[in-house]
Amino acid sequence: MATIPLTRRGAEKLKEELHRLKTVERHAVIQAIAEARAQGDLSENAEYEAAKDKQGFIEGRIQELEGKLAAAQLIDPAALDAGGKVVFGATVDLEDEDSGAKATYQIVGDDEADLKQGLISISSPIARALIGKEAGDVAEVQAPGGLKHWEIVEVRYV
């Protein structure tokens, strides 16, 4: 299995979800299955079927998270020394050359991406366009609304 890049914050978030699934969700669904079984005929018991489906989802997610954490390559952005280049974990201040709009993004793993918090996935078009560039460079990004030109104002490792 290939390694999956994760920031320390992203790995902690996945560990917290895994812990919650194992200690809270798993026990709750087992209790729901037991209660549904107690109602009798399982062939026409919608609560039983729903609980079994939820159990399957939880167990699948637990396996997925354990696999990702086992294959994770933890990267601490503060410890990076990339010589001012945009790399995984870097925080990049950008300015749209056309509109003058400013944006700040941190490049993170697929599982930790959250655009509302300024966290973009390493596999997103904008991150792929930024990787390897440095302050003063212009990145061309093919967006749904057309070609965008973003000037890199600053690259930080925080």
The whole-angstrom separation of Cα 16 and Cα 137 is 38
- Given this model, what pLDDT does residue 1 score? 59
- Given this model, what pLDDT does residue 129 score? 95
The reported pTM is: 0.81
Burial of 82 (0-12, 13-18, 19+ CB in 10 A): middle
pLDDT tens by residue, the chain, 158 residues: 588 899 999 999 999 999 999 999 999 999 999 998 888 777 778 889 999 999 999 999 999 999 999 999 999 988 888 889 999 999 999 999 989 999 999 999 998 999 999 999 999 999 999 999 999 999 999 888 889 999 999 999 98
